[in-house]
Amino acid sequence: MKHPPPPRRCGVVAAVVALVLLACLQIQYHHLKVDLGKAGFASATQDNSNRNRIHLGTSSKPATATTNSLPRGIVERHSDMYLRPLWDDSAATTHKNKNGDHNALLAMAVGISQIKNVDTMARKFLKENYAVMLFHYDGNVDGWHHLEWSDKAIHILAHNQTKWWFAKRFLHPDVMAIYDFIFLWDEDLGVENFNPRRYLDIMVSEGLEITQPALDPDLSTDIHHRITIRNKITKVHRRIYDNRPSMNCSDESKGPPCTGWVEGMAPVFSRTAWKCVWHLIQNDLIHGWGLDMKLGYCAQGDRTEKVGVIDSEYVVHQGIPSLGGPSLSSKTPRRSLDLRTHIRRQSSAELEKFKERWDRAVREDEGWRDPFES
């Protein structure tokens, strides 16, 4: 006669069977959930496909990937910086300059300490109905509201940022496409002998894509490069001659600092040149050191012909580094001097980084050929 198994052994067997059943139920639930999700995704995809079919219509020309859900006629590829009225749109101006032949934008990084000088500069450009954009690096925008033209300018605020930082983020080529020329200037330029309309007329007539106004050698306090000095007997100059061993600039010179070069304080770009320059600006190298040596690659041709310094419309460089502290030549607290020292060190470090990136990019891009190397 067989004896029944002990109760403890039966309990263990029952527990194992229960665990197996639970595992099977969980697996079935998982498969059911996945099947339902696929069905829902398929349904949603079908609905979206139907909607896209409505938007796309029957256009025979393929749309770009980013706008393929829109009819081509509604796609607005560009923008501008002109202010628009909240009502009575018929009263809006055409935003053309008085001669109707140039659209231009003046963009500057500014601080309240330079308000008097910036006021003079802005009035010169607004008189020609050119657009003005001010990048406020000191946080003070309210201090400009009393100027009669303040409401006509675009004001953008970000603390302690340079004009190159602002330009990379707010002067995208698609936004700038309406402008024929972009002035990306420092705030410490004297413009008593400068007329922006005449300047652009010369730029066009000379076939220049990248320029800067010459510096008055008698009144400017901060001149770093000979090529920027005004030649009083010419309208434009594209090169300098210097037989010193450190320069060796002659007719044979093909690049900076002898020719094909402008300084970063007051560059002026054509629309096409700016589209290239914007991509050259490095997002994290905010001081822009090193850019000037490579701007000629954006000149849309031979930089010895397309890049120049305009002598007949010239400016005074006052040399007031107000971003980061007052001028080193003035009586300033120790802290201001230290800030300027730190900024210069950072600028020098960024210059080395820019050079390294350029050299690495040249090595890695096997299909690129330097257009200025014979």
**Distance (Å, whole) CA 276 – CA 362:** 16
In a domain, 290, yes or no: yes
Are 360 and 341 in contact by the 8 Å Cβ rule? The answer is no
Domain CATH number, residue 223? 3.90.550.10
Are 213 and 199 in contact by the 8 Å Cβ rule? The answer is yes
The domain of 239 spans 96-321
In a domain, 326, yes or no: no
pLDDT computed for residue 82 by the predictor: 78
8: Cβ contacts below 8 Å, ≥ 6 apart: none
Number of independent structural domains in the chain = 1
In a domain, 299, yes or no: yes
**Distance (Å, whole) CA 212 – CA 203:** 10
pLDDT computed for residue 357 by the predictor: 96
Structure tokens at 204: 């066009």
Taking the whole predicted model, whether its pTM rises above 0.85 is answered as no
In a domain, 270, yes or no: yes
- Write out the chain's pLDDT in tens, 374 residues: 555 555 555 565 666 666 666 666 666 655 555 454 544 444 444 444 443 333 333 334 444 567 788 888 898 888 877 788 888 766 555 555 555 678 999 999 999 999 999 999 999 999 999 999 999 999 999 999 999 999 999 999 999 999 999 999 999 999 999 999 999 999 999 999 999 999 999 999 999 999 999 999 999 988 889 999 999 999 999 999 998 888 899 999 999 999 999 999 999 999 999 999 999 999 999 999 999 999 999 999 999 999 999 999 999 999 887 675 544 344 555 555 678 788 889 999 999 999 999 999 999 999 999 999 86
pLDDT computed for residue 77 by the predictor: 82
Distances (CA, A) of 93 to 85, 89, 90, 97: 10, 9, 8, 11
Helix, coil or strand: residue 55: helix
In a domain, 217, yes or no: yes
In a domain, 13, yes or no: no
In a domain, 43, yes or no: no
In a domain, 61, yes or no: no
200: Cβ contacts below 8 Å, ≥ 6 apart: 102, 104, 180, 181
pLDDT computed for residue 340 by the predictor: 78
The DSSP-derived string for 208-242 is -SEEEEEE-TTT-S----GGGB--TT-SEE-B--B
pLDDT computed for residue 60 by the predictor: 41
pLDDT computed for residue 179 by the predictor: 96
pLDDT computed for residue 330 by the predictor: 46
